[in-house]
Structure 1
Amino acid sequence: MTSAVVFTELTGGGGCSIMSATPGPDLSAHDFRENEYAASGVATRFTHAGPGSVSPVGEDEYATRILVRRPRRDADFNGTVVVEWLNVSSGSDAAPEYTYLAEELVRGGYGWVGVSAQYTGVMGGPGSVDGLGESAAGTLATKDAQRYTGLHHPGDAYCYDIFAAVGRSLRSPGDDHPLGGLSVRRLLAVGESQSAMALTTYANLFATEHEVFDGILIHSRAASGLPLGETGTAIDVDAVFAAEPVTIRTDLPIPVFIVQTETDVLTNFRFHRARQPDTDRLRVWEIAGTAHADLHQIGPYEHLLGCPTPVNRGQQRFVLRAALHHLNEWTVGGPVPPTASPLELQGTVDTTRFILDDVGNVRGGVRTPCVDAPTEVLSGIVGDGVPRICVLFGSTTPIPPQVLSTRYAGRGDYDRQYRAATTTAVESGFILAADRDEALADARHDLIPG
C-alpha cells in the first residue's frame, strides 16, 4: 500500500445510499452512531508472480466511501472493528453481513465499517444478479450529486489494496477520525457471496503481506475466488463459476472462518469441490436447512422476488453470529471454535446431491432447531427453470400434516423437542446463549396438527 487514507465526512443530499431490506437494531437506543465518509488515497494493482504471490504493476488515485456504525463511547466498545467488504451483486452496494450480524454487533459492543471496495459500488453497473436492484445502477454521484460528487474508483484491479488501506487506517484513530475516541485493538474482515470470493483471494494472496486483519470471516463463497481484476472496470463474476477450485492456504498466521449454506455447497457455487480439512487456523461450517439468502435478509420484500415457493426460512443468522463471536475470541488466543461435520453428499463429481432425512431436510452439517425439530422442509436448492434470484433464496415447503402427526404427539411434544434441539445447538456452540430466546421464538407450534 502506497499511501495513507484521508477520511472526509459525507453529509447532505439524500443521506447514505446503501441497499437494505431490513432496518436492523435502533442504533441510537444502544448509544451507537452512524456516519459516512469519503476515503481517498493512492492504491496499487497487482499481477500474479507465481503460486500464492503477486507483484505490484501500477498505482492510481481513488476516492471511495465507507459507512461507520460504532459505539459512541470507548467504555461500550469491545475493541474489535468488523470491516465488511460491501456486496455489489445488485449493481449497488449492500451490507448483507451487517443484516445477519447486527444483533451481535450491537449487544457485543463491536464497531462496524462497510467499505465500498469494488468499482461497481462507486461507479455503478449492471450487477450480477437480476432481481436484486436496478438493471444498470448509476454512479453514486449520479444518484446524489450533493453528497457524492468527487468519488471515483479506478477499477477492481485496485480493490484489494483499497480494502486493506482502509483497514490499516482504521487502526490508529485520531480526534477527527471515523473511529475517534475508540481504542481499536482488532480488525476482522467479513464478506458474503461475491465479497466472500474477494476475501478468498485476499486471504490467499494479500493477508500475510498486508498484516492488517486479525481474522477473516468468509460467508457463502464459491469454489474459486475472484480474479485480480482490471483497470477501469468491474470484475467478471461469471468467470469465477467456471474457474478451478481454490482452497485457503494452510500457512496463514491469522484464523479464517468459512460459513457455507446448502446453495453454496452445490448449485453453480460448487464449494464441495473446494472442501478442505479444518486446521488450527481454519474452520469450515456448512449449515443444514439454509440458502445463500433467506427471509431474514429480504424481510417484507419477499413478494417482490416473484419466486414460485416461499424463500428459505432457515436459521443461519444465529450460526453466523456464533461464528463471529468465536472468531473474535479465537484472534485473542481464546478457544478454537467447535468443529462440525460437512453436509452429507452422494453421487459423482458431476451428479453430486445431498443425502436427505426422512422429511426431506439435508443430513449432516451444523444443526439448528428448525431442522432437528422440523415443521417444514428448508432447502438451499430449488428446481430448474426459476430466476437466478430465486435460486439464491432457496425454498421453504410444508411437511404434510400426517407426517407431523406421526413425528410429534401434539404441540407439547413438539415444543419439548424444539427446546431440546435449541439447547443442543447452544451447548454445541452453534447458537449463542444470547440468541436462545430468539431461536425459541422461531418455533412453529401453529403447524402442528391438533
Structure 2
Amino acid sequence: MRGGRARGHHGRMTKHPRRLGTAVTLALAVALIPSGSGYAEDARTPTAVPTVSAPIPGAVPGDRLSPVLEETYPFFSTPDDLARHGYVEQEFYLSGVADGWDQLGVQVATDVPYRTRIIVRRPAHRPAFNGTALVEWQNVTAGYDLDALWNGEAIMRAGYAWIGVSAQRVGVDQLRAWSPTRYGTLDVTGGGAYRADELSYDIFAQAAKALGGPGSPLDRLDVRTLLAVGASQSAARMTVYYQHILPRVEPVFDGYAFIVGNAPTRVGDEPVFQVLSETDVRTPVRPSPDTGRFRRWEVAGGAHSGWRGQEYRNPISVRDLGAAPVYDCALPPFSRVPVHHATAAAYDHLVRWVRFGTPPPVAEPLVFNADGTKARDGLGLALGGIRYSQVTVPTAVGTGDNAGQSFCFLFGSHQPFDEPTLDRLYPTRGGYVAKVVLADLRNVGAGYLLPADAHTNLREAIASGVGR
C-alpha cells in the first residue's frame, strides 16, 4: 500500500469553481481533459491524512449482534448476514481539510474543512482478510448514496474489505435529511461555497489514505492493496480524478476499476480495468485499446443496472425510504445476465496485475453491424463480448436495451422463452445442464468467470426445471 505525508493547513483559494452539475456535463468534461501530465513525481501534492472517529453507535433494528438498539443506524445498511461469513459492518465519521478541483481538473480551493461518513464491511478477524480493500465511490444518481458495487457473496467469499465513501453533496444532503441525529453535522461543500462536488476527489483519496495508518477503520487488518472502484456516474468522477488530478497529487490507490461507466484514456502507473454491460456500449468506436495498463471487458446481454442489484436493494428501499421504486418500461425490465460475475473476476485480476504484474485476459468486444447497430443472433441476443452461459445457453432473451420512464433505459430487458421454445432447445434436463457446465468451464478457463460463480450457475440450472 502506498504511503505519504500529512499536509499542513493553509488558507482557502479564492478562485470560484465552475458549477457543472449534471452527469452529462461530467462525461463531456472527461472527454475534453488532456491526457498528458507534465508533473514531476516530487512536485505532487501529498494527500492529507483525515481524522477518523470511533465507530458510530447504532445497528439496524433486529440485528442479532446488537445488544442495544440505538436511535439511528447506517443508511442503506446491508441486510446480508455478515456474521455468518465472519464480517462486521461499521460506520465512521471522516473529517479534515480537502483541496477542491473542478470537472476540468482545475484546482479551485485549498484546505477546505469537511466532514462526511464512510461505511466499512470487513472480515472480523485478520486471517480471513485477503489483504485488499475495495474503496467504492458511492453512487448518487438516484439522489442518495448507493453501494452499487457491494456484491456480498463474492466479496465475503474472497475476503475483501469494502469501504463505501460518501464524497458528494447530493448523497450527504440526503443523509442529513434522513437522520439529522446521525448525519446532521456532515458537510462536503465548505459551508455551501463548493456545491459542485469540487472537494469530492480529495475526500475520496483521503478516505483511502486513512486505511493505512494508526486508528484505521479497518482495525488491525494489514492492507497490502488498495483498489478504487466506482460504477456509472462514480466511474465518471473517478475518471476525472485519474485523468487530470492524479498526475498532480500523491497516488494513494494501487489500481482502479471503472464499472459500467467512463474510464480514463491517460496511461498512468496504476492499472485501469473497465467492465461494461451491453447497455453501456453504444458505438463500435472504442476510445482506448487494451494495453499493458488498460483492459476493457464488454458483457453481452448485461444491463447497466440489472436484476440482481434491484432484488438486493428493494427490501432496503422499503426499510429506509418507505417503498421500492416501480417502473413502467417498454420491455420487461432487468436483464439477468450476471455482470457482477465479470466484476468479481476483474477484481481478482486487478489484484494480480498490481501485485505481480500479471495482466488480465483480453476479451472480444461486442459486434456491431455496418449501420452501427448491435449485431444479434436469431434469438435476439448480442454477438461478441464476454458470453456467459445465460447468453450461450439461454432460457430467455436478455439484452442491455430498454426504454420508458425514468431509468428504464439502464435496466436492459428479460423476456423468458415459452415452453415450446425451451422444449425445442433443451429436450432433456441433463442436456441443458451439460451445456451450462461446458459454457461455464470455457469462461472459467478464459478467466472471465470465477469457479465459485460457475457453481452458482450450476445450482441454478439444476433447480430451473428446464428440460425433461
Give TM-score scaled by structure 1 length.
Answer: 0.81
**Does the CA-based 8 Å contact 1:171-1:185 persist in structure 2?**
no
Once the two structures are TM-superposed, the CA of residue 447 in structure 1 deviates from its matched residue by: 6.7
1:64 aligns to 2:116 (yes or no): yes
Where does residue 442 of structure 1 map in the other structure?
460
Once the two structures are TM-superposed, the CA of residue 46 in structure 1 deviates from its matched residue by: 2.5
Query: 1:280 pairs with 276, 292, 305, which one?
Result: 292
**Amino acid of the structure 1 residue aligned with 2:154:** E
The secondary structure found in structure 1 opposite 2:229 is strand
Where does residue 304 of structure 1 map in the other structure?
326
CA offsets, 1:256-286, max 9 Å, x none? 10000111112xxx6x544321011111000
1:200 aligns to 2:239 (yes or no): yes
Once the two structures are TM-superposed, the CA of residue 339 in structure 1 deviates from its matched residue by: 0.8
Q: In structure 2, what is the Cα distance between the partners aligned to 1:446 and 1:29?
A: 27
Where does residue 29 of structure 2 map in the other structure?
none
Q: In structure 1, what is the Cα distance between the partners aligned to 2:460 and 2:327?
A: 23
Query: 2:339 pairs with 296, 308, 316, which one?
Result: 316
The secondary structure found in structure 1 opposite 2:240 is helix
Where does residue 228 of structure 2 map in the other structure?
189
The secondary structure found in structure 2 opposite 1:69 is strand
| Matched positions, count | 392
**Amino acid of the structure 2 residue aligned with 1:259:** V
Q: In structure 2, what is the Cα distance between the partners aligned to 1:298 and 1:367?
A: 22
Where does residue 230 of structure 1 map in the other structure?
none
Once the two structures are TM-superposed, the CA of residue 400 in structure 1 deviates from its matched residue by: 4.7
**Amino acid of the structure 2 residue aligned with 1:75:** P
* Equivalence map 1:253-272=2 (5 Å): 253-266=269-282, 272=284
Where does residue 337 of structure 1 map in the other structure?
360
Query: 2:126 pairs with 64, 74, 85, which one?
Result: 74
Give TM-score scaled by structure 2 length.
Answer: 0.78
Q: In structure 2, what is the Cα distance between the partners aligned to 1:447 and 1:109?
A: 33
**Does the CA-based 8 Å contact 2:303-2:399 persist in structure 1?**
yes
Query: 1:146 pairs with 181, 189, 197, which one?
Result: 181
**Amino acid of the structure 1 residue aligned with 2:184:** T
1:294 aligns to 2:306 (yes or no): yes
The secondary structure found in structure 1 opposite 2:288 is coil
Where does residue 56 of structure 2 map in the other structure?
10
Q: In structure 1, what is the Cα distance between the partners aligned to 2:74 and 2:224?
A: 27
Q: In structure 2, what is the Cα distance between the partners aligned to 1:19 and 1:288?
A: 31
* Equivalence map 1:69-218=2 (5 Å): 69-98=121-150, 101-124=151-174, 140-154=175-189, 155=195, 156-172=197-213, 174=214, 176-208=215-247, 209-218=249-258
The secondary structure found in structure 2 opposite 1:68 is strand
Query: 1:220 pairs with 256, 260, 275, which one?
Result: 260
Mark the runs of 5 or more structure 2 residues left unpaired by the alignment: 1-45, 59-70, 190-194, 315-323
Q: In structure 1, what is the Cα distance between the partners aligned to 2:467 and 2:451?
A: 30
The secondary structure found in structure 1 opposite 2:303 is coil
Q: In structure 1, what is the Cα distance between the partners aligned to 2:47 and 2:297?
A: 36
Change in CA separation of 1:168 and 1:373 when aligned onto 2, cut-off 3 Å? same
Where does residue 368 of structure 1 map in the other structure?
388
**Does the CA-based 8 Å contact 1:359-1:399 persist in structure 2?**
no
Q: In structure 2, what is the Cα distance between the partners aligned to 1:66 and 1:253?
A: 27
Once the two structures are TM-superposed, the CA of residue 329 in structure 1 deviates from its matched residue by: 1.4
**Does the CA-based 8 Å contact 1:343-1:354 persist in structure 2?**
yes
Q: In structure 1, what is the Cα distance between the partners aligned to 2:90 and 2:463?
A: 42
Sequence identity (%):
35
Q: In structure 2, what is the Cα distance between the partners aligned to 1:328 and 1:388?
A: 36
Where does residue 37 of structure 1 map in the other structure?
92
- Could you tell which deviates more after superposition, 55-64 or 188-197? 55-64
Query: 1:410 pairs with 420, 425, 428, which one?
Result: 428
Where does residue 356 of structure 1 map in the other structure?
376
Once the two structures are TM-superposed, the CA of residue 404 in structure 1 deviates from its matched residue by: 3.9
Once the two structures are TM-superposed, the CA of residue 199 in structure 1 deviates from its matched residue by: 1.4
Q: In structure 2, what is the Cα distance between the partners aligned to 1:277 and 1:288?
A: 19
Q: In structure 2, what is the Cα distance between the partners aligned to 1:48 and 1:221?
A: 16
The secondary structure found in structure 2 opposite 1:45 is strand
The secondary structure found in structure 2 opposite 1:121 is helix
Q: Superposition RMSD on alpha carbons, in Å? A: 2.3
Change in CA separation of 1:149 and 1:361 when aligned onto 2, cut-off 3 Å? same
**Does the CA-based 8 Å contact 2:261-2:276 persist in structure 1?**
yes
Q: In structure 2, what is the Cα distance between the partners aligned to 1:279 and 1:406?
A: 43
**Amino acid of the structure 1 residue aligned with 2:278:** E
**Does the CA-based 8 Å contact 2:432-2:467 persist in structure 1?**
no
**Does the CA-based 8 Å contact 2:273-2:350 persist in structure 1?**
yes
CA offsets, 1:133-179, max 9 Å, x none? xxxxxxx233212211211111301111110111112122x2x4311
Q: In structure 2, what is the Cα distance between the partners aligned to 1:439 and 1:334?
A: 30
The secondary structure found in structure 2 opposite 1:443 is helix
